[in-house]
Amino acid sequence: MPADPPGDAPTRFHASMAGYAPTPLVAARGVAEALGVADVLVKDESARLDMPSFKILGASWATRCALVAHAEVPESRVGTFADLRRLAERLKPLTLAAATDGNHGRAVARMARLLGFDARIYVPAGTADARIAAIAAEGADVTVVEGGYDDAVRRSAGDASERCLVISDTSWDGYEDVPRRVIAGYETIFAEIDDAVGGGGLPPPDVVAVPIGVGALAAAVAAHYLADTASFRPLLVGVEPTSAACVLESVRAGEIRSLTEPQHSIMAGLNCATPSIVAWPLVSTAYDAYVSVDDDRVPDAMRLLAADGIVAGETGAAGLAGLLRLVETPPDAEHPLLDEHSCVLLLVTEGATDPESYKRIVGRALRV
């Protein structure tokens, strides 16, 4: 791929997309009371560029970078979404492929639709019908793969060719550039948070709770807050489902490990068996705590967020579910990560991507 563009390039690119606006950073007072902390700030990614999750940020920037590399044009020629559409016209016909538990695949399918490409999206068996339907509604060809997320990843990888670009948010040997650009695309989230904290009178967070999955978002968090230019360095808490804690298992082993048992958490976006190799160096060293959480803690987290006016799907509520467990069973009672002075940042990464499940858990239907 061409040399990396400037660090603020993803944010400028996203700002050029139709419908772009920073997502809210809101105070959740009921959640703060439940955690026993001073403040909770929620970065609400339930509506981002007309999508129900943050994933469009990584998918759009990675697609832009993959097309620049595929066409062998200078980075400087594709700074805006309008530039990208002009480039895409030259490259047709082309297909974008991806594996997903829901949100990333839908975002890739959306990018294909916006650029006039085809899309092939692979999902693991057991993916909720509502998530499959949402991907198909973007015009994508959706294939259900027997097995888990890793099986879907392998299937999508086999599609790579001159006429099909794989836009994956996880990586494997020989495939690292695109997932690295996905991570870079998420920087927009944290640029917006810094703007809100710096200009909005909000306190800077001293603890950040992050749902992990394969580690792309977790790596973006670490890269931002460990950068030399960071204005503050909060404690980082990574959260995974107990049945899909591939990063925690790998950290314990001191190397990347793949889980052998099936991953069937209701936190569907985190049902991953293997950490991304490009995320691993940051995710394995930058975090102050790793928390695994059972599914039975998630409904309480969703309902707490709903009481503060925040619609969070199961994956979106994972960070709060992990902190609720951390408060209940702190690893070091003498030096807790959270206390009555803490300001916590929660990344609510998705809205109610399965509306029927949300209604069952929260007790009311979504207002639309």
Please state, as a whole number, how many other Cβ atoms lie within 10 Å of the Cβ of residue 223. 19
Number of residues that this document lists for the chain: 368
| Cis amide linkage into residue 275, ω under 30° from 0 | no
List 44, 101, 118, 169, catalytic entry? 101
Could you confirm whether 4 is annotated as catalytic?
A: no
Residue with tokens 């902390």: 37
Spatial separation of the C-alpha atoms in residues 116 and 105, rounded to whole Å: 16
Could you confirm whether 339 is annotated as catalytic?
A: no
List 44, 55, 150, 169, catalytic entry? 55
Query: Which residues are catalytic, by number?
Result: 55, 101
